[in-house]
Amino acid sequence: MNFTTTIDTKISLKTWVSDLKQLMKVGLSLSVVFSSVAGYLLAVKTIHYPTLLLLSLGGFLMVAASNTFNQIIEKTTDALMQRTMNRPLPAGRMSITFALVLAVIFTLGGIAILYNINPKSALFGAISIFLYTCVYTPMKSITPLAVFVGAFPGAIPFMLGWLAATGHFGIEAGFLFMVQFFWQFPHFWAIGWLQFEEYQKAGLKMLPMDKKDRGATRQIIFYTAIMILVSAAPVLKMTGQFYITPPTAIAISILGGIMMYFGIQLHQKQTDLQARKLMLASVLYITGVQMIYVIDKFLH
């Protein structure tokens, strides 16, 4: 009897930890931390590890809060989609009250930690949570413009790293914001293409004009082109203290070219396979660009 109870307890604990990770979307939260750390490293001459630790923890909690609020609001729509129906809230393994308490704790904790770095970091952290939760999430069922609105909180983490390091919002932070802002359109539209039928069942509008057609892929190509130009633009040394060398600009353009290739392939073939390749290429792009920026900074 005791042996059975011990097994049940272990299973319950494992399920609870798994549910907590799903609620916070740990993978996504860690990718945001990566962006923030990259932005921080681009701004500093000497790494201050306590600040880096606070930025990582505060940024993680900020995204965990946004994701938790998002799943509370979308509990009903999540239950309609195969990909999300087994999340802890729609599956009934976790109560909305408990999730709400967690979301508030994550919010207050994240903002307080970021405030310990500097007030501007806390302000933009709070703006990110508000936009994601109160504007982007409700808009998803109303208009495809939700992706445009969602690109704002999604672009804050890269910039947040620079703010944490300098306490100053200038052209450098603005440019880091723009890199991640324009990247999100091809990335999320590729996901929107892959999940189009599922999103339709839930009433979510995640493609331009809410149509899976060449109009959507033309916009993907257009925003990919802007993203490449913005990402390589610091080579012109018109972006304050943030600039890159010509070889770095070429490397970034090659990465962007890979994304553009799959965007064009999607436009021509209109298949889910090409959309998946574009989505994976976009993840490679944003990770690669941030790493290349940091490597370039420490080499020159």
Return the ∠ at Cα 259 (arms to 264 and 240), rounded to 5°: 130
Going residue by residue through the chain (300 aa), what tens digit of pLDDT does each one get?
A: 454 455 445 558 888 889 999 999 999 899 999 999 999 999 998 999 999 999 999 999 999 999 999 999 999 999 999 989 999 999 999 999 999 999 999 999 999 999 999 999 999 999 999 999 999 999 999 999 999 999 999 999 999 999 999 998 899 999 999 999 999 999 999 999 999 999 999 999 999 988 999 999 999 999 999 999 999 999 999 889 999 999 999 999 999 999 999 999 999 999 999 999 999 999 999 999 999 999 999 887
Q: CB–CB of 59/31 below 8 Å?
A: no
- Please count the residues of the chain: 300
Same domain, 246 and 154: no
Alpha carbon distance 287, 293 (integer Å): 10
Could you list the residue range(s) of the whole structural domain that residue 250 is in?
A: 170-300
Alpha carbon distance 195, 140 (integer Å): 14
Given 109, 142, 169, the domain boundary residue is 169
Helix axes 96-117, 146-166, angle to 10 degrees: 40
Given 119, 141, 169, the domain boundary residue is 169
State how many domains the chain has: 2
Same domain, 107 and 230: no
Spatial neighbors of 191 by CB under 8 A, at least 6 apart, are: 206, 279
Same domain, 24 and 99: yes
Alpha carbon distance 247, 243 (integer Å): 12
Same domain, 247 and 213: yes
Alpha carbon distance 130, 30 (integer Å): 20
Same domain, 107 and 55: yes
